[in-house]
Structure 1
Amino acid sequence: MSTITHVKKHFVFIKYQKLIIAAIVIGFLASFLAISLKRGTEHYEELLFNHASENNFLLFVFPLIGLTIIAFLRYYLFNNKANKGIKEIFETTEKRKNSLPIYKIPSHFINGLFTVIFGGSTGIEVSTVVAAATIGSITQQKENLLNRHKLELICAGVAAGITALFFSPFAGILFAYEVISKKLSKAFILVTTISVTVSIVICILLHEKPLFNVVIQEWQWKAFPYFILLGIIAGMNAVYLTKTVLFFKAKFATFKKNSTKVILSAVFISIGLFVLPQLYGDGYHAIKENLANSNTLVLTIPIFITIIGIIIFKPILTSLTLAGGGDGGVFAPSIFIGGFIGLLLAVVLNTFFNANVIPLNFMIIGMGAMLSASIHAPFTAIFLTCGLVNDYSLLFPILVTCLVAKYVSKRIYPFTVYSFAKNKLCLQEKK
């Protein structure tokens, strides 16, 4: 009996030893992938956007170029299979025998890059998540002893990728838990903690900086009711974003020819970018500009119309980008829309109600609220938002606003883009 116990203990020791090694490898590879994609996207997006700003006709050319390249790559290089985003992870984790094929790494990396730099109105976050998840899936396939821990190793890749993108280890672990796993285990805690630790070390060594460089001003309790109002508005807008994405994807799925999807998407995206160039790519350039000028912004009719247009049309352009074959998700659009909702609410309150609130704070809190409502992951949104500015002084108002936003969105519509895909997959399996 003692011999059997000894053998079992030895087996468990070996298994956890391999899990630790796997988590280190996954954290290293996933963080390098995320940082490479982020830096490449930032560089080329800025370069092409500057060209388009000087020559407006390029706004009518770039989206077609990007979506056409992606379509050709998919047909000739990536087994003629469209990327499905987070749904691909769910399809893999729902069945033990399923796995993410290795070509998903270059597929999401390249397609995510080309989508954003050529003006596709989304971000690289979901591309990074699926590519990083693939690293975890492949690692599990290479070692039979880890077969039962596919989900945990996929989560390790996801957590490391999110950590590298937003310089927030808590956001990485919480996203893997709230969106992908939804359950805790010793193995999950072990591998995600190790992978995000490796990822944050890589970020420090490579001198990664927060996405937004701002100086936060101290928030005041008198603004608390307005934070709740911001959460309610963000929750309603998140439902609008979700339903818009699902609507356009369903409509474009009825087109038999892929060329029809590409041309229609490119035409409407180009028109949208010509009218509102702030919607180009992930839109972080517009967020940075408005963060810098937020506290001195004076509300005028043109500014009001512009911000309203941004809030209304960003979900439409995001949906067209995804429906037309672009790679991405609702991560960056949620952050973008939330920032402008917060800015608009703050300047309206200051202009018409003499509320004397701080627009910069409202922009940052709005980002978290909208993200929380869009993916129904409030704690991910809280720590990710703090990671965006590398400042936790707004933690409490962000916490309250994120919880309110998530509650409102879920009461209006119970699904996110991610959970709708998972629910649809489960229904298909039952049939």
Structure 2
Amino acid sequence: MNNITQIKKNYRFIKVQKLVIVSILIGFLSAFLGVILKNTTEYYEEIFFHKTVVNPIFLVVFPVFGLSIIYFLREYVFKKKENKGIKEVFESTNSHSNNLPSYKIPSHFINGLLTVVFGGSTGIEVSTVVASAAIGSVAQRKQNVFRQYKTELICAGVAAGITALFSSPIAGLLFSLEVISRKVTRAFILTNLIAVSIAFGLLHILDEKPLFAVYNMTWHLRAIPYFLLLGIVAGINSVYLTRCVLFFKAQFSKIKVHYYKIIFGSVILSVSLFVFPQLYGEGYHAIKTIFINPNGMVFSMSMAVTFVGILVLKPIVTSATLASGGDGGVFAPSLFMGAFLGLLLALILNQYFNANVIPINFIIIGMAAVLSASIHAPFTALFLVCGLTNDYTLFLPILVVCLISKYTAKMIYPFTVYSYSPSLAK
């Protein structure tokens, strides 16, 4: 009996050892992939965007060229399989037999990069999530002992990838829990904590900086009613984004010739970029411009028209990008919409209601609120945006507004882009 007990203990110890080792590998590889994709995309997006400023004809050339290259790669290199985004991760975690194949790593990496660099109005976050999830999926297939930890290892890859993109290990953990796993096990805690620790350590070694720099943050109790208003408006806007994406995908799916999808999507994208160049790519370059001195901005009708146009068109061009074959999701569009929505609301409140609110607070809280409502993950949005700005001064108002925006969105429309399926909607 003692020998059997000792053998079981040794087996459990060896299993834990192997889980630790594979979690370290997954964390490093996923984070390294995320950092490379983030920096490569930012570098080339800036170059290509500058070319469109110098010569606007590229606003026509780039979208159709980028979407065509992606179609060619999917057709002739990546086994004629379309990327379904995070739904691929759900399908894998919900099935014992359905695994993420290894080619999903280069597929999402390359297609996500090409989509954003050539003007596709989405982001690389979902590309990173699926590629890093595929790293975890491949790792769990290497030894039989890992088969029972499939979800945990996939989540470890996702958590490390999100950590690398947003410099927030807590956001990585919460995203893998709130959106992917939705349950906590001891193996989940072990593998995911190790993966995000390795990812965060890599960020420090590489000296990765926060995406947005903010300083001297503060907030006042008198702003609470206006924060609550922002939460409600953000929830409504997120539903508009979700419904746009679902509508465009449904309509484009009726087009049988794929190249017609590319042409229609490119036309929508090119025309929109001509009117509002801020919509190019991820849009982080546009967010950085409004972060420069938002508290010194003065409301004007021309500014209001521009902001409203951006908020109306962003979901449309994002949807057209995805429906015509681009790779990405609603992370970056949600942050983009939230930033402009928050700033617009703050300027209107100060101009017409003498609210005396701080615009930069509304930019930051708006980003978190729209993201929270779009993916139904308020705690992920909270820590993700705090990580993006490397500032936790607004922690409490962000938390409250994220919860309000999420439940506002759920009351209006119970699905997200990730959770919707035609069978559920009936």
Q: TM-score range by the shorter chain?
A: over 0.9
Letter of the 1:309 counterpart: G
Letter of the 1:59 counterpart: L
Alignment gaps of 5+ in structure 1: none
C-alpha distance in 2, partners of 1:197/1:25? 12
Secondary structure at 2:326's aligned position in 1? coil
Normalized against structure 2, the TM-score is what? 0.99
Alpha-carbon offset, residue 214 of structure 1: 1.6
Alpha-carbon offset, residue 314 of structure 1: 0.2
Query: Does residue 1:253 correspond to 2:253, yes or no?
Result: yes
What's 1:287 paired with? 287
Q: Give deviations 1:272-292, integer Å, cap 9, x for gaps.
A: 000110000000000000011
What's 2:170 paired with? 170
What's 2:187 paired with? 187
What's 2:309 paired with? 309
Secondary structure at 2:293's aligned position in 1? helix
C-alpha distance in 2, partners of 1:380/1:216? 24
Letter of the 2:78 counterpart: F
What's 1:131 paired with? 131
What's 1:51 paired with? 51
C-alpha distance in 1, partners of 2:123/2:308? 21
What's 1:24 paired with? 24
> Does the 8 Å CA contact 1:216/1:393 hold for their aligned counterparts?
no
Secondary structure at 2:229's aligned position in 1? helix
Alpha-carbon offset, residue 128 of structure 1: 0.1
What's 1:360 paired with? 360
Secondary structure at 1:263's aligned position in 2? helix
Letter of the 2:164 counterpart: A
Normalized against structure 1, the TM-score is what? 0.97
C-alpha distance in 2, partners of 1:238/1:427? 18
Alpha-carbon offset, residue 296 of structure 1: 1.2
Alpha-carbon offset, residue 217 of structure 1: 2.2
Secondary structure at 2:67's aligned position in 1? helix
Alpha-carbon offset, residue 216 of structure 1: 4.2
Letter of the 1:355 counterpart: A
State the identity as a percent: 60
What's 1:112 paired with? 112
Secondary structure at 1:345's aligned position in 2? helix
C-alpha distance in 2, partners of 1:346/1:291? 14
Letter of the 1:284 counterpart: Y
What's 1:388 paired with? 388
Which deviates more, 2-11 or 332-341?
A: 2-11
- 1:75/1:216 CA distance change after superposition, 3 Å: farther
C-alpha distance in 1, partners of 2:347/2:258? 43
What's 1:98 paired with? 98
> Does the 8 Å CA contact 2:164/2:199 hold for their aligned counterparts?
yes
C-alpha distance in 2, partners of 1:76/1:293? 48
Quote the RMSD (CA, aligned, Å).
1.2
Alpha-carbon offset, residue 7 of structure 1: 2.0
Alpha-carbon offset, residue 97 of structure 1: 1.5
Q: Point out 4+ residue stretches in structure 1 off by more than 3 angstroms.
A: none
C-alpha distance in 1, partners of 2:63/2:297? 31
Alpha-carbon offset, residue 406 of structure 1: 0.4
What's 2:328 paired with? 328
What's 2:412 paired with? 412
What's 1:296 paired with? 296
C-alpha distance in 1, partners of 2:354/2:135? 52
Alpha-carbon offset, residue 5 of structure 1: 2.1
Which deviates more, 372-381 or 53-62?
A: 53-62
Q: Give deviations 1:2-56, integer Å, cap 9, x for gaps.
A: 3222222222111111110010000000000000000000000000001101111
Q: Give deviations 1:213-264, integer Å, cap 9, x for gaps.
A: 1214210000000000000000001111001100000110111111011111
Letter of the 1:187 counterpart: A
Letter of the 1:78 counterpart: F
Query: Does residue 1:379 correspond to 2:379, yes or no?
Result: yes
> Does the 8 Å CA contact 2:214/2:391 hold for their aligned counterparts?
no
Query: Does residue 1:222 correspond to 2:239, yes or no?
Result: no
C-alpha distance in 2, partners of 1:132/1:216? 35
What's 2:69 paired with? 69
Letter of the 1:243 counterpart: R
Q: Give deviations 1:335-392, integer Å, cap 9, x for gaps.
A: 0000011000000000011111110111000000000000000000000010010010
- 1:340/1:427 CA distance change after superposition, 3 Å: closer
> Does the 8 Å CA contact 2:109/2:127 hold for their aligned counterparts?
yes
Secondary structure at 2:208's aligned position in 1? coil
Q: Give deviations 1:98-133, integer Å, cap 9, x for gaps.
A: 111111000000000000010000000000000000
Alpha-carbon offset, residue 212 of structure 1: 0.3
C-alpha distance in 2, partners of 1:405/1:135? 33
- 1:305/1:41 CA distance change after superposition, 3 Å: same
Q: Give deviations 1:187-209, integer Å, cap 9, x for gaps.
A: 00000000000000000000101
- 1:263/1:216 CA distance change after superposition, 3 Å: farther
What's 1:203 paired with? 203
> Does the 8 Å CA contact 1:216/1:391 hold for their aligned counterparts?
no
Secondary structure at 1:418's aligned position in 2? coil
C-alpha distance in 2, partners of 1:233/1:117? 31
Alignment gaps of 5+ in structure 2: none
> Does the 8 Å CA contact 1:216/1:361 hold for their aligned counterparts?
no
| Count of matched residue pairs | 426
C-alpha distance in 2, partners of 1:317/1:278? 12
